[in-house]
Structure 1
């Protein structure tokens, strides 16, 4: 057999027409060209040179014309593993995107010093056997399902537990850590995806007593490029590891993959904001189908996406042997004689529970928004205070501070009402800071702690305190909170988004899970199906009913949607090329750019993505070339862009 002297390379380029493997000749004397390495290659336009990854080697070329030579071997490390390339290609094809965009999420920029140090260390020694921890509180069916590489929706218990030395984590973190440790003990790697750094810290703490330090690899967007590159290189080793990180860790290299676990898949942080905008859950489903291994989706609530897969039989429901649930008290059930108190932001029953809990330990108060006054109004006529720059709503981050715009951030030190010309402002609503002031006056002698986006607090001790936190920023209390107050429920439910019920249920359930066993959780101002799901602990039934309603309307995830944006001519051409099974929802045009939303069944997803991708490439190649000598004013946008499974049309 002749030696392979042809390399098929994916060039790192934003041009959609270059999203394919290009043939290059390996020059004589150039050694080290193997699949996965970085190389530099010439492009036949303006004499440019670009980087790329070698994907395949061959002895025969596909391109009929003469081939260019590889310019240089940029790195001898095969950083692009075959399983990562296969995943990137499949993810991009599903979303009508470029594989290069996915690889930029998966592989950080090269760090020469880190790479040289890794090569100098050589092959890592084989690790001693690891004992597999038991899954306490779960039936044998869970262990059997993991060993059989099944796909699970795993129920978890609310509450917190102590790991030792005063470190407290959620019970869910211990469960997922034990699941991952069992996989590593069996000789395979595990990928654990968590949306927020707080969740990742809990998982890292829960894994520490189960696995040696070199068996846990952190891959997080908060890391520096050298640290992240160092983690990718560690994942290339022979010893099985737990790869822990945020949404991008789902693309980490792992040849012997035994598990992908996702915590809280409804968190918007798991949705990728960069092209091709693929949710970590969808990427995990593709990878599990390609490589095998078990798939675990866990959370205190269930998303409609997970419920759809359960009803299709693709995911299997399993949970604890004796599941716990939080003790939730909805104020909507307050007797009629206390109806006036029930209409208050903090009704009397919530005051009583907070006062009783604060005598023995910390009490959590969850609020909807940070700042002192989330909204401001004219002190005379009551008109909403708006920004003079962008007409956005004004707010105050602290009491007595200068108002600023919630949209553009512009300060408004000399505001004047456009309705009555008054300069007086009064607060509208109460944010975390204002709530803390009110509770501080109501509970003299009790310390008040504020946790929000500006004041990141991960843990509090067991001493009496009032902890006011915005949703998602709640710290863990030693021993659990002695009471939890869920305020501003009506404000949260009032958001205009398709997922408002799921989001509220997730925010409230996550906060309630931080309570001590049998501690009261007071849900203020919310009734109906949401309150019933919280009280009974049947969040899955709410997701089931929500999915049934969306099927009637053909809303996601009962059907898939895609958003097409670009010039009116490009969007119209793409719509006309789509198959007849696609249902156009509507088209709008603003400032010379058009936007169309289309809806289609899952069975037609591959066909729709292929047609849209072909149209994107066709439109990109039809762009007019710049006139020689004319000054180019930055990179021009593509005539057509697409985003599949776009949540924006159904959000505020």
Structure 2
């Protein structure tokens, strides 16, 4: 971030620029000694005698606790600390810990002219403490404004944010930008109803299908803090089961927090809670609600008007009072990892909250991630799962079509469907809708030369060409340019073949194969929430599958190789998770539900789907990663930058003795790096990435070392920084 006065007044630009307040070294909580030394070098102290300021521009200061320790919203690492400001008397009543303020911060704010401080840009911040004296040896700048007397940052949230910042080698200001929503004045003026009385403890309901399910609810209702990894049975009951766990927690007089990966799933849990508890017991925190509504719901939680929260990613920081249960649904979904620095993951943050606050923890999903398997293996959480007989009664029948079957099958070439899949779809359409999962959106997202199979590339930026509609011109996926007259650069051919067929092209072909059946599509352009029980073909990309009333009669999982062929450590795990999520929407086998997956039956994730054994698959993946020393058995960080900058950073960082550096290796340009948009210029130069891993117990030391080294580069005013990501999702 840059100062409001422009680059020339930005303290990030070099050691000669200075913030608008005294360093306040006593308030630099959580900063290591090395980082403090860098701060002292980059921010020179004012050459004035130590004095306790009592006036500001002729105005009296607060008589008691005249110093406010402020966290300034400046997310650069070498300024990741608190700064002291004087509190004018007229702001004394409102300038309490936890409120939002505006302060002068930046170069020039230390200049004293005619007894007044001048210069420095105005920045937002939070008061974290009121003090009688400052540790700074000079006159302090005063608070410019109290934006609102509403305290939004309590000590518990501040401590959690600091723990998250330290774990992910980030700044506290960046974490609080994720944790505290933007202010809306009209919402603050609303009077909220008092919290309703706790509901009675629930009956086990469908939790009775699991061996330890009723005991888990009983423990929550009794005020205990059980921790569990829950492998949910297929079907729509998962939302009601989460609602019952929330009710059991509320019955004990405590609060509950549920985080799901999408607004659609949050709406289902919201509906289940309303049906079970009625209105007024919980808040819904999603980005779809709009700024005012979301802030009003967040205030209701902070003020204690509601004791339960259901929401998406940012809700992981919701200030629930007396938190008794934290729930994560489908932790393998990439939406649980924040896209903004320092990239915290919902699962890890809620684990921190459970460990720090002693509350219950429930990690649930139709699938089981390797991280979830490790929680069970380590004894930190207990498993909750149904027995095999119950699984067989609930899961659909899964059949496979391999490469050899496709080679002998003429129907697969004529209508994109193997004979088995075509027959399953035909039979399913007699009783209800049929789901077709396609791993790529669009029409034909990947093309190649028909003669030599060379991928079709853009002449301007070498990006992949794709077809957006039938008979339409080719379009570059990176720069957005049309390619009306493509020719292969290798053999001169001008005919193309589809390497991957997208959802829209699949829907077009299925429409020809089943001309009397309506075809619906669900994907990025339009995501359907539900579909009726009438016969229809529903073509969807992974994660956008709508729920069918009464369940799908059948499901076809096409192009399984496209998910498994990704060069990534998590490819098999992610493929199984996406297949399981689609198959869980199909009716049970005893009701005729059938799933056909186009993939080799011998592959491990395919076998796990056939047996409906995600836990066994995760346990085997965990054992293999333990042999190789890969996460989650080890802690890992990805460091990315230009070759010169990355080499300089790795030479300067003081890694733990047991750290191992893998790479650096070139980072392929996918056209999706920060700042790249359709129509933008090609890459700004080659980049490389190094992976740094450490054994268990050294994760905190690794994060601290990376943070200190990054702070040193920032303090020196380096033109280009490296990108640091702890626990990267993609470790290729």
TM score, norm. by length of structure 1: 0.90
Classify 1:171/1:402 alpha carbon distance in 2 versus 1 (closer, same or farther; 3 Å). farther
Counterpart position of 1:331: 400
User: Is structure 2 residue 80 aligned with structure 1 residue 7?
Assistant: no
Counterpart position of 2:124: 51
Counterpart position of 2:98: 36
The size of the alignment, in residue pairs, is: 621
Is the CA contact (8 Å cut-off) linking 1:183 and 1:259 kept in structure 2?
A: yes
Q: CA deviation at 1:507?
A: 0.5
Q: Match of 1:218, SS? A: strand
What are the residue-to-residue correspondences of 1:44-193 with 2, within 5 Å? 45-46=107-108, 47-48=119-120, 49-115=122-188, 117-118=189-190, 121=191, 124-138=193-207, 139-146=213-220, 147-159=223-235, 170-193=236-259
- Rounded Cα–Cα distance in structure 2 between residues aligned with 1:401 and 1:325: 45
Is the CA contact (8 Å cut-off) linking 1:124 and 1:237 kept in structure 2?
A: no
- Rounded Cα–Cα distance in structure 2 between residues aligned with 1:79 and 1:16: 23
Counterpart position of 2:112: none
Q: CA deviation at 1:152?
A: 0.9
Is the CA contact (8 Å cut-off) linking 1:343 and 1:525 kept in structure 2?
A: no
Question: Could you give the per-residue CA deviations for residues 120-157 of structure 1, whole angstroms, max 9, x where no partner exists?
Answer: x2x63342442333231334321134342121101211
Q: CA deviation at 1:320?
A: 4.3
Classify 1:386/1:338 alpha carbon distance in 2 versus 1 (closer, same or farther; 3 Å). closer
- Rounded Cα–Cα distance in structure 2 between residues aligned with 1:247 and 1:358: 37
- Rounded Cα–Cα distance in structure 2 between residues aligned with 1:514 and 1:522: 13
Q: Match of 2:662, SS? A: strand
What are the residue-to-residue correspondences of 1:286-305 with 2, within 5 Å? 286-305=352-371
Counterpart position of 1:535: 610
Is the CA contact (8 Å cut-off) linking 1:565 and 1:571 kept in structure 2?
A: no
Classify 1:382/1:41 alpha carbon distance in 2 versus 1 (closer, same or farther; 3 Å). closer
Q: CA deviation at 1:325?
A: 4.3
Is the CA contact (8 Å cut-off) linking 1:326 and 1:521 kept in structure 2?
A: no
Q: CA deviation at 1:376?
A: 2.4
- Rounded Cα–Cα distance in structure 2 between residues aligned with 1:398 and 1:184: 52
Counterpart position of 1:600: 694
Counterpart position of 1:627: none
- Rounded Cα–Cα distance in structure 1 between residues aligned with 2:178 and 2:140: 30
- Rounded Cα–Cα distance in structure 2 between residues aligned with 1:606 and 1:237: 33
Q: CA deviation at 1:547?
A: 1.0
Match of 2:652 among 574, 580, 595: 574
- Rounded Cα–Cα distance in structure 2 between residues aligned with 1:593 and 1:392: 17
Is the CA contact (8 Å cut-off) linking 1:565 and 1:640 kept in structure 2?
A: yes
Is the CA contact (8 Å cut-off) linking 2:649 and 2:709 kept in structure 1?
A: no
Q: CA deviation at 1:572?
A: 3.2
- Rounded Cα–Cα distance in structure 2 between residues aligned with 1:204 and 1:182: 16
What are the residue-to-residue correspondences of 1:330-369 with 2, within 5 Å? 330-332=399-401, 340-341=408-409, 344=412, 346-369=417-440
Counterpart position of 1:621: 715
- Rounded Cα–Cα distance in structure 2 between residues aligned with 1:277 and 1:368: 26
Greater shift, 123-132 or 231-240, is seen at: 123-132
Counterpart position of 1:454: 525
Please list every run of 5 or more consecutive structure 1 residues that lacks an aligned counterpart in the other structure.
Answer: 160-169, 625-635
Classify 1:338/1:262 alpha carbon distance in 2 versus 1 (closer, same or farther; 3 Å). closer
Match of 1:260 among 326, 331, 344: 326
- Rounded Cα–Cα distance in structure 2 between residues aligned with 1:504 and 1:592: 30
Q: Match of 1:278, SS? A: coil
Q: CA deviation at 1:292?
A: 2.4
- Rounded Cα–Cα distance in structure 2 between residues aligned with 1:391 and 1:97: 35
Counterpart position of 1:555: 630
Q: CA deviation at 1:262?
A: 0.6
Is the CA contact (8 Å cut-off) linking 1:155 and 1:299 kept in structure 2?
A: yes
Q: Match of 1:10, SS? A: strand
Classify 1:389/1:24 alpha carbon distance in 2 versus 1 (closer, same or farther; 3 Å). same
Match of 1:316 among 366, 382, 385: 382
Q: CA deviation at 1:313?
A: 0.6
What are the residue-to-residue correspondences of 1:366-385 with 2, within 5 Å? 366-378=437-449, 382-385=453-456
Is the CA contact (8 Å cut-off) linking 1:564 and 1:571 kept in structure 2?
A: no
Classify 1:434/1:596 alpha carbon distance in 2 versus 1 (closer, same or farther; 3 Å). closer
Question: Could you give the per-residue CA deviations for residues 43-65 of structure 1, whole angstroms, max 9, x where no partner exists?
Answer: 36222232210112233433344
- Rounded Cα–Cα distance in structure 2 between residues aligned with 1:641 and 1:429: 32
Is the CA contact (8 Å cut-off) linking 1:480 and 1:514 kept in structure 2?
A: yes
Counterpart position of 2:570: 499
Counterpart position of 1:210: 276
Q: Match of 2:698, SS? A: helix
User: Is structure 2 residue 509 aligned with structure 1 residue 438?
Assistant: yes
- Rounded Cα–Cα distance in structure 2 between residues aligned with 1:217 and 1:342: 54
Question: Could you give the per-residue CA deviations for residues 63-91 of structure 1, whole angstroms, max 9, x where no partner exists?
Answer: 34433322221110001122211111000
Counterpart position of 1:22: 83
Q: CA deviation at 1:357?
A: 0.7
Q: Match of 1:456, SS? A: coil
Q: CA deviation at 1:641?
A: 4.1
- Rounded Cα–Cα distance in structure 2 between residues aligned with 1:446 and 1:332: 24
Q: CA deviation at 1:550?
A: 1.0
- Rounded Cα–Cα distance in structure 2 between residues aligned with 1:278 and 1:7: 29
- Rounded Cα–Cα distance in structure 2 between residues aligned with 1:126 and 1:544: 43
Counterpart position of 2:678: none
Q: CA deviation at 1:479?
A: 0.5
RMSD over aligned Cα atoms? 2.5
Greater shift, 471-480 or 205-214, is seen at: 205-214
User: Is structure 2 residue 480 aligned with structure 1 residue 405?
Assistant: no
Counterpart position of 1:238: 304
Classify 1:581/1:476 alpha carbon distance in 2 versus 1 (closer, same or farther; 3 Å). same
Counterpart position of 1:642: 724
Q: CA deviation at 1:431?
A: 1.8
Counterpart position of 2:21: none
Question: Could you give the per-residue CA deviations for residues 14-34 of structure 1, whole angstroms, max 9, x where no partner exists?
Answer: 322221122223223421222
Q: Match of 2:555, SS? A: strand
Greater shift, 586-595 or 361-370, is seen at: 586-595
Q: CA deviation at 1:585?
A: 1.2
